[in-house]
Structure 1
Amino acid sequence: MAPLKPVVFSVLVVALFVLGIFDVITNYEENKCEMTWMFEMPQYLRVPMSKKIMEKFPNYGLYVYGEGQYAVTLQSMQMTGVPVLFIPGNAGSYKQVRSLASVAFRRAVDKRKLYHFNFFSVDLNEEYSGLYGSCLQDQTEFVHEAIKKIFGLYKNAEIKPKTIILVGHSMGGLVARGLFTLPNFNANQVNTIYMQATPNQSPVVVTDADLASYHQAVNTYWRAHGNTTLAHVTLVSSGGGEYDVQVRGGLTPLDGITDEERGISSSTTHIPKAWVSTDHRCIVWCKQVVLAFVRSMFDIVREDTHVVSDDIAYRMHVFRHHFVQNPGSIGHVTHWPDTLTLQPGQWSEVNSKLHRWRKDKVDEMTYLSIPIGLFDDVDHAMVQSNIMHDSWVCVCERKEGEEHCTSCHDISFTGNVLPPLYSNKKVVHLDLNAEDMLRVTHIVVIVPATEKQVEILWDVYRRDKRHLSNTVPGLMETMFSYPESITKGTLILDLGTDAAFYRLKLYNMNNVLKVYTVQLHTAKCREPKPDDHAGSVIRLHIPWNNEDSYRFVGYSQSGNLSIRLQNVPPDPIINIQSGEYSWDTASATNDHVELYLHLDPSCSYKVTLALSFKEMLGQLVRFYGLLLPTFCVAVLLMSLVFQLKTVAAGGQCPSLLNSIWQMKPYFVVPFALVIQYVLQLQFVQSALTPMGIPEPDIAGLNKQGVMFKGAQLLLYVIALAITTFQAGVIHLIIQFKSRLLGLMFGWLPSSLARMLDKLMTVLVIAGLGAAVCLNGSLGIFVCYFVSFVKLLRLCYSTRQVPDSSLQSRYHLMQTLFMLWLWLFMLNAPPLVVFGKAVQSSHSVVVFSRDPSRMVGAAAVFVFLILSICDTPLLGRTSLRAVSYVVHGLVILMLVFAMVTLYRVTYILVASLGLLAIAQLYSLLSGRLAPRPKTE
């Protein structure tokens, strides 16, 4: 039996880890996405492809979307609109184009546009492109053929398009960028790519070498050709925020892939007039998000030529308007006026720092003048309104003797919209000490005549009274101050009335594991609720990325917002040409998280900032959960090392539960850290790269800002606990089922048991054939199943005959069984893809590009040897040598296979193969040794 303390510790750690998983999959508010509705029956018309293409890609297809009478006109396949091609992602359907296409069609009809869009979509057989990289090249080549076919449909069009807009969801976005790597692709045919929840930085999980190489090839090409063949391409990448548990937001940005002058990275939580977090599939139909994409598509099309503008700066201006900063204009404004001539109207000068001006309707043009020159103790101002007019606020210098300004400088374009949706609220912030504001005497709010209610709120204040700062405690400080850090919070602010805006800067928010909850409590309001849109807004501002989050808190209500990061500052400074990264903290102009509090001045508030322990566990799972399989396998292999060393020393093979905690983390992790450090030295990289030695996985994690000091040690300890718990559960299951097996089949004669052994051998040989001819994972599954049966029988035998050799065999077999279990789980994706291929073709097909074939065949062959030599033999020299080599392989695994999981399977099979060779050598040596002579 294992010691009690490790077992208790393991149960506690697993319970906390499960709590983190629960937080990831359940910690979300009610879905705020509005549905997109079709007003007519949607139809997907198949576009005929050539026989040659269909023979090459029999499972793929091309469709064009239509609805109602519009679908009838498309049956002739004579297109006249602006072409858009939707590329679905992992297990995605071509029908996911419906929301984008329907909204765009309805907008063209309602706005009476002189042009419209033709939305095409490729059917990629819902392949698991996020798990099986071999299909990505086929998908890319088919999309290329689809684009050529689409342009052929416009041969009779009056206006022939020169470019096509690409929209890629998930891995479809990567395929869209992968088109440019094809040698015969005409790069000039695409100048705009939209990507929805696309893992641009790296694959979510690296299950095979093809997936890793495709991703690396695409990103390498874009970094190398950004200023040449790709200089005309603009990109928009949007992540789904915290609710997308499949592709976390830190993987979607374009940092280091394209220049910021040609690429926009945002989040659905940040997109103006969206402000929602979406799950991985919801992003394609969430109305607020779809509207942002569709509006930007219409705005990049030139009204005179009805083709997508070839002006890069103009397209980027459109994208920033719709995805980064919308000043609240009615539509996209190409050029804002610098100077406004103020027409005759009613003037009202309000000599108050804080004022709310509300009218049910405005009969004539009205100007509200705020004389900031009269306030000596102010340096900042905030102006908020719901005016449905583009140019609504400006600043001027009133000359001496003038009654009011006759012209002013427009500053409306510096504003930004605020929630809630449909409130038309927008806000402008001014730094009165800025160089261009030194001569300004008045802020002028322009209120045109309207029948709708108008509300304007301004607050002129002193910075040191409203712009506050606080240093959030580190993880260690939080642990030492527990439970007060959670129950009482780390910050409490009492905000009285007569203040409409506060800004709180949070220092030391530099780790993805740090999660805090800001709570805004409304203490008291002295006025009745003015309207449904009245209330406060909490904004989490991430200066180094467009991932702001908003939370609207109703009038006299309380609300909260989670403060957590998708990536950490400082951003890497990346040379696009060389692809080199460098870290420069001093270059970051603002690398601190900020909270913007837009408040109702008639209410008093209390703000608390408290650590969220549960969400910290969720962040641990979200960012590091996919790294744990490598560490769990490392723990098991180190347990095997201890067992082999014990047997080599002449002892019996100890149990797995006793072996796990014998090999401490410092036997592995420090060596891995040293090797990682050495391999990242510039001169070492230069020497090893030509030899084909990859860079350590930690380099990619460092570029994403995920790793921190002690992370690998923490992960190894968590893996120790998980493996202990897993081994204990499996031991209990085996004990229970072996007893059940004894009750059911204990009366059978021994001849049937020998027949079962032969049957198992035949099954393994069949598994070898399946691994070679069909799918390698099938062979691994057979090995896993047979090892399970063997383990049951050994457990039953050890209870019937309490023999030390049987017990030793059982202990070794349990360790090997868990290794086979991990080997099968790591190779499960190819089996899932193979099963889908069989299902779609309704026959057993040859899985031609199976990433698990070689591993599976080798694993089954190793299993055959281990089945023959399943006794821990006393070949001390060979077993001790194997233990040292396996120990070294484990260290290399932590260096090169933390992220690239397919390499773990290579090391697993290699370790088991070494054991099989040693066992076979010991067996043959024992049988071939000369017998002693008899007298």
Structure 2
Amino acid sequence: MTYMFGEPRFARLQFKANNQFPNYGLYYYYEGVRQPLDPNKMRMNGAPVIFVPGNAGSYKQVRSMASVALRKAREHPGLGIHLDYYTIDFDEELSALYGGYMYHQQSFLKYCIRTIASLYRHPSPIVLIGHSMGGKLAQSVLTDTDISQHINAIISISTPLDNPVLSLDAHLSQFYKETHEKLSYTRTATQPTTTTNVCQSMHQRPLSEQSMANQDLSAKLDNVLLISTGGGNRDLLVQAGLTTSQFNDLHAMTSAIPRVSLSCDHLSAVWCLQFTLVINRFLFNISQRREDGSVFFSNDKQRNMQSALMYFVKPKTRYHGSINIQTHNNWHEERHLVINKFFANGLRNDYYELIGLGRQPRYKKLAIEAVNVDNDANWLFGCESYKENATGKNYCDKATSLTHLVQRVPIVDDDLRNIAILDLHNLRQTFKQWTHLLVRLPAGSQRTGYNLDIYDPKDRFLDIRMPRWYASGRRIAINETVQGSIHYRMRIADLVEPYQGLRVHVEPLKCLKPNYRVTVRVCVPWASGFERYHTLTSPKQKPGLYVNVPTLMPRHYNTTLNPVLLDFYLDPICRYRISYEYSYADALSRIVLEFYGWLPAHFICVLLIVLRMQLDHFEEAGSLKSLRPYIGYLQYTSLYVVTGCRLFKKLIMNMKILPIPEQLDYSVNVSIIIHCTAIGLSVVTAFAFWFCLTLFGNSLQRLALRLTRLSTSGSNIMLSIMTHLPITYGILTIGVALGACSGLGLLLAFIFYFLMLSNAYKDYVEDYLWQKAANLVHKAVGIGKKSNSNKDDQSAAVANTSDQSPVSNDGDDQQKLLNPDEKQAKDELCVGLRNFSFHVTLLLMLLILLLLNVPTSLAWIRSRKHGVVLPDSSIRTTIVALSSISLLLQIRAPQKLRGNLILSILLYACAGISLLYCQMAIYRLNFIIAGAFAVIAMHQALQKLYERLFPSAK
């Protein structure tokens, strides 16, 4: 947690745009000064930084980064460098849910950039730091060439850059599309190729100086440095794969950033002390001071990129070249393959250890680890040794530094770990004069030492394949590691999709101490910047770690040649057993986090198939079958639509006639799991609706009376009007949608529809119970009459036995005569409002339509306070849906009519379109639902009209 070093204070800047954006504001951050400051009247001479908050973000979130910057400037006054932090107040708007905010906020951000640029005497480039949707907003202003000239760098924190988390709004989708199209002309996009393997390089490579020089930077925006960061597995709001962009220069996850090495959740990224320190160190490093004392950010992108690599990817280790060694004391030489040497109380003098390079040819790899050696210390060298005549020991007069090949491992128990993995074969071929590697441990009182492991890669590199989802049980990768070994590598093929979960177990065996430290580095070859570390320190911890990839493997990528890599940096005090298994828990959790946005499209697909089945199947009135809540819902037909859409998608891609479907090249297993979940959810919600109709219909009606303040007689009149003239219901709700917003009209329509259905259900149940009671009475009366008639027949038979005329048993006829209503009820079908299963399905679809418009409704409610007019992208679909529902109720739909085949085909088509085009673009479901309502209404109305005009066609 970052604590403020003084009382946080915010000074508001006044400029012309304040009248145009009454609910927005621009503030300057300062601390400790009790007197209010006016930035408009001050001489600003620091390097300007603007913090852009995200979805529901506050302008006060800047205080952690700004306070650290103020503290750093005070602690190092000799540098003369300080930063001016500004922050923007967007009134905590929900910009991730409603895209109409983005254009409004973008205009205000441009005004802020111009205003801040005008406060400085000299042209001063600005750094933008955007959190969440604020990062996308900062990226979008690059599309304006007048604004981009004022921008030096953009740092996005946990931002969905190329695709939104949920595309609930057409305006949000359009905003992303426009930004992508414009940036594609002004930025150089980077795409992974079939041979890309970021695990083979030590770090991400910036644009070369030659390519930068060949570009026309006045037309291109590659001179603006774009850095993106992600929180990792703890960020449950923005998935790791969404935080990178093809237009970025550098990407890093907080779990792999040096001196951070922690996964951050979505909000803690703005106040995590380790992370804010890294950001400010980078900003101070790229800052320069003019002669008049003003500070500005350097425009040299190559220099800035090197600084970014040093702070966000890999600390820069000074390359000292060749050095001369004066002393020949305290020299030692080791010839073993495995060495573990430590000094518990430190060293009084520098310690020198020679490690011979003359090994057997099969020993091609060398792993060496220095513990508690300062990161900037020069401790690993290559040299040509000489033998001292007096003692016969080998020593080196001159050595070449190899510390630049060392990588830092996250700190565990305050122990610094620096590890280098060297290729001995290449060293021997490149530096033929070298005979030894030199390890120099500096003097100090702290425990220090080093571990050495020379090995044959065939014995340490483990090649495995990702187990299939149906595979069960644990598989052994290596039964027991070599004592004293410090490095193993596991190469995993077929781990290509984000939902796949692999659990790797590292179990300690025969440990010399109770606690140990094992660090595992995970690297995905096609995903730059997603390297992460996982550390195990005790057997009390779960000995396993979860491995998954952040993004889908690119097409035509070969994971056999470029597999996912796991580097195990082991503690030599133990031996270990390494095993792995398919993790169902991790796979299901990844499916929930990565693909929960697909559920609405699959849910609508299920409802459309259920609706088609209900229109084909009409139950008889007056029977218990008509009251079943699960009619049509216990089905698996919709699963055929899933597989059929995957085949049809390939056909569309090849023919190129229809619009291109969403490019979702995931396994069919994901779609089936999501679809089965949608089927289960449809059954649960249908039962929930029936439960509400049965028990809470009257309660909800009384609640509606209180909210509308209608009397009981007034509500009865209103319900009577809606029941007998539903067209008034449609006119009223459409008027509300046009006058206010679509969400409010849909909410009113949902309440009216539910009350009408509840009232009809109550009347139906009462009629059903009265009918059953009447039937029982008729049966009781019929049995009594039948017994009396039997006695009369017997006495008549005794009196006249010679009568041979047949005796007719007219008990059934009497039953039929006594129960004409029951016979007529059995001949009738549950049509109109009495077809409850049909209307429950329509009500569910109306509920989904209402939920899809909740963000727009919230935006409309908030905008009413400030008089801002925001666009309503779903008003047309809302009008179509409400008109169709009122028409269906007016003509007493559904009716048993002809033409169901055409209707079934159209409903199947709507179900397929929802899976092909609406899984990511959720807002398109508005059109699917409205289209389904319109198709059903037209079918019922036209068929009824046709049968009236041509009665013989019935």
Q: Does TM, scored on the shorter chain, surpass 0.5?
A: yes
Deviation at residue 252 of structure 1 after TM alignment: 1.0
Aligned residue type for 2:565 = E
Q: Deviations over 1:894-927 (max 9, x none)?
A: 2211211111111101110222233333455566
Distance change >3 Å, CA 509–CA 831, structure 1 → 2 = same
1:454 to 448, 454, 476: 448
1:540-619 to structure 2, matched below 5 A, reads 540-545=522-527, 546-554=529-537, 558-568=541-551, 570=553, 572=554, 583-586=555-558, 591-619=562-590
TM-superposed CA distance for 1:655, in Å, is 6.2
Pairing of 1:813-892 with structure 2 (within 5 A): 813-838=839-864, 840-841=865-866, 847-877=869-899, 879-892=900-913
Segment of structure 1 superposing worse, 91-100 or 919-928: 919-928
Distance 2:638 2:692 in 1: 28
- How far apart in 1 are the matches of 2:287 and 2:858? 42
Contact 2:228 2:251 in 1 (8 A): yes
Residue identity opposite 2:155 in structure 1: Y
Separation in 2, partners of 1:82, 1:679: 53
Q: Among residues 44, 52, 63, which one is paired with 1:79 in the alignment?
A: 44
Deviates more, 1:272-281 or 1:600-609: 600-609
Task: Report the CA distance shift for 1:468/1:836 in structure 2 as closer, same or farther (over 3 A).
Answer: same
Q: Which segment is superposed worse, 492-501 or 790-799? A: 492-501
Counterpart check, 1:659 vs 2:632: yes
One-letter amino acid matched to 1:350: E
- Is residue 474–residue 508 contact of structure 1 (8 Å, CA) maintained in 2? no
Match in the other structure for 1:18: none
Distance 1:827 1:743, change over 3 A: closer
Contact 1:205 1:626 in 2 (8 A): yes
Distance 1:853 1:427, change over 3 A: same
Q: 1:73 to 1:423 in 2, by over 3 A?
A: farther
Distance 1:859 1:276 in 2: 49
* Structure 1 SS opposite 2:734: helix
Residue 8 of structure 2 contacts residue 31 of structure 2 at CA under 8 Å; is this kept in 1? Answer: yes
TM-score (normalizing by structure 1): 0.83
> How far apart, CA to CA, are the structure 1 residues paired with 2:400 and 2:578?
36
Structure 2 match to 1:202: 163
Amino acid of the structure 2 residue aligned with 1:608:
S
2:113 is the counterpart of 1:127: no
Tell me the SS of whatever aligns to 1:420.
strand
- 1:730-809 maps to which residues of 2 (within 5 A)? 730-738=689-697, 753-758=716-721, 765-802=731-768, 804-805=829-830, 808-809=834-835
- Percent identity, aligned pairs only, is 25
Give SS of 1:418's match: strand
CA distance in 2, matches of 1:131, 1:775: 16
Alpha-carbon distance in 2 for matches of 1:899, 1:649: 41
Aligned to 1:167: 129
Q: Write the distance in 2 (CA, Å) between the matches of 1:316 and 1:740.
A: 65
Q: Does 1:695 align with 2:660?
A: yes
Q: Are the aligned partners of 1:241 and 1:269 in contact in 2 as well (CA < 8 Å)? A: yes
On the 8 A contact 1:649/1:876 being kept in 2, the answer is no
> What is the aligned counterpart of 2:486 among 500, 514, 531?
500
Confirm or deny that 1:298 pairs with 2:284: yes
* Change over 3 Å in CA distance of 1:253–1:525 after alignment to 2: same
User: What's the offset of the Cα at 1:276?
Assistant: 1.4
The equivalent residue for 1:378 is 363
Instruction: Tell me, in whole angstroms, the C-alpha distance in 2 between the residues paired with 1:824 and 1:264.
Output: 41
For 2:715 and 2:186, locate their aligned partners in 1 and report how far apart those are by CA, in whole Å: 68
Is the aligned partner of 1:99 residue 2:54? no
Deviation, 1:374, is 5.1
Alignment partner, residue 31 of structure 2: 67
1:55 counterpart = 2:49: no
Decide which moves more: 622-631 or 363-372. Answer: 363-372
User: How much does 1:458 deviate?
Assistant: 2.3
Most deviating of 547-556 and 648-657: 648-657
- Root-mean-square deviation (CA, aligned residues, Å) is 3.3
2:203 maps to which residue? none
Q: Are the aligned partners of 1:373 and 1:441 in contact in 2 as well (CA < 8 Å)?
A: yes
* 2:598–2:919 CA contact under 8 A, matched in 1: yes
- Mapping 1:279-290, distance limit 5 Å: 279-290=265-276
- Equivalent residue number for residue 264 of structure 2: 278
CA deviations over 1:312-351 (Å, ceiling 9, x no partner): 222222222222223xxxxx55x63333333436433233
Instruction: Pick which of 109-118 and 493-502 moved more.
Output: 493-502
- Corresponding letter in the other structure for 1:814: V
Give SS of 1:352's match: coil
Q: CA deviation at 1:384?
A: 1.7
Number of the residue aligned with 2:918: 897
When residues 230 and 441 of structure 1 are mapped into structure 2, their CA distance, relative to the original with a 3 A threshold, is same
Moved more, 271-280 or 857-866: 857-866
Distance of 1:438 and 1:654 partners within structure 2: 89
Matched AA of 2:49: V
Q: CA deviation at 1:524?
A: 3.3
Instruction: Answer whether contact 2:503 2:545 (CA < 8 A) is retained.
Output: yes
Asked if 2 retains the 8 angstrom alpha-carbon contact of 1:87 and 1:166, the reply is yes
Q: Deviations over 1:59-84 (max 9, x none)?
A: 11101111114986775432111101
**2:830 partner amino acid:** S
1:766 positional shift: 3.6
- For 2:514 and 2:909, the matched residues in 1 are separated by 72
Matched with 1:313 is 302
Q: CA 1:315/1:271 → structure 2, altered by over 3 Å: closer, same or farther? A: same
Q: How far is 1:777 from its partner?
A: 0.8
Compute the displacement of 1:134 (Å). 1.2
Name the aligned partner's letter for residue 720 of structure 2.
D
Number of residues of Structure 1 aligned to a counterpart in Structure 2: 835
Q: Is residue 2:420 matched to residue 1:428?
A: yes
Residue 201 of structure 2 is matched in structure 1 by none
Match of 2:247 among 239, 257, 278: 257
Whole-Å Cα distance in 2 between the matches of residues 709 and 793 of structure 1?
44
Q: Residue 41 of structure 1: CA displacement?
A: 0.5
Report the more deviating stretch, 594-603 or 561-570: 561-570
**Per-residue deviation at 1:207?**
0.8
The residue identity in structure 1 corresponding to 2:6 is E
For residue 311 of structure 2, the aligned residue among 283, 301, 322 is: 322
Q: Using a 3 Å threshold, how does the CA distance of structure 1 residues 341 and 708 change in structure 2: closer, same or farther? A: farther
Question: What SS does the aligned partner of 1:512 have?
Answer: coil
Shift of the alpha carbon at 1:639?
1.4
Q: Which deviates more, 558-567 or 206-215?
A: 558-567
- Deviation digits for residues 253-299 of structure 1 (CA, Å, limit 9, x no counterpart): 12x334xxxx1112111212212111111111111222222222122
Q: CA, structure 1 residues 667+757, in 2 after alignment: closer, same or farther (shift >3 Å)?
A: farther
Aligned residue number for residue 8 of structure 1: none
Structure 2 CA distance, aligned partners of 1:377 and 1:668? 56
Match of 1:153 in 2: 119
Q: 1:751, CA displacement in angstroms?
A: 9.8
The question of whether the paired residues in 1 share the 8 Å contact of 2:81 and 2:288 is answered with no
Q: One-letter code of the match for 1:62? A: L
Shift, 1:493, TM fit = 3.1
Q: Which residue of 2 aligns with 1:180?
A: 142
CA contact (8 A) 1:551 1:560 kept: no
Closer, same or farther: CA 880–416 of 1 in aligned 2, 3 Å:
same
* Alpha-carbon contact 1:642-1:663 (below 8 Å) kept: no
After TM superposition, the score normalised by the length of structure 2 is 0.81
The aligned residue for residue 908 of structure 1 is: 929
Preserved contact between residue 733 and residue 749 of structure 2 (Cα < 8 Å): yes
**Residue 811 (structure 2) aligns with:** none
Q: Is the 8 A contact 2:469 2:582 kept in 1?
A: no
- Asked whether 1:628 is paired with 2:613, we answer no
| Partner amino acid, structure 2, of 1:165 | V
Query: 510, 519, 544: which one pairs with 1:537?
Result: 519
C-alpha spacing 1:446/1:569, structure 2 compared with 1 (3 Å): farther
- 1:408/1:757 Cα in 2 relative to 1: closer, same or farther (>3 Å)? farther
Unaligned runs of 5+ in 1: 1-34, 327-331, 573-582
Q: How far apart, CA to CA, are the structure 1 residues paired with 2:398 and 2:552?
A: 42
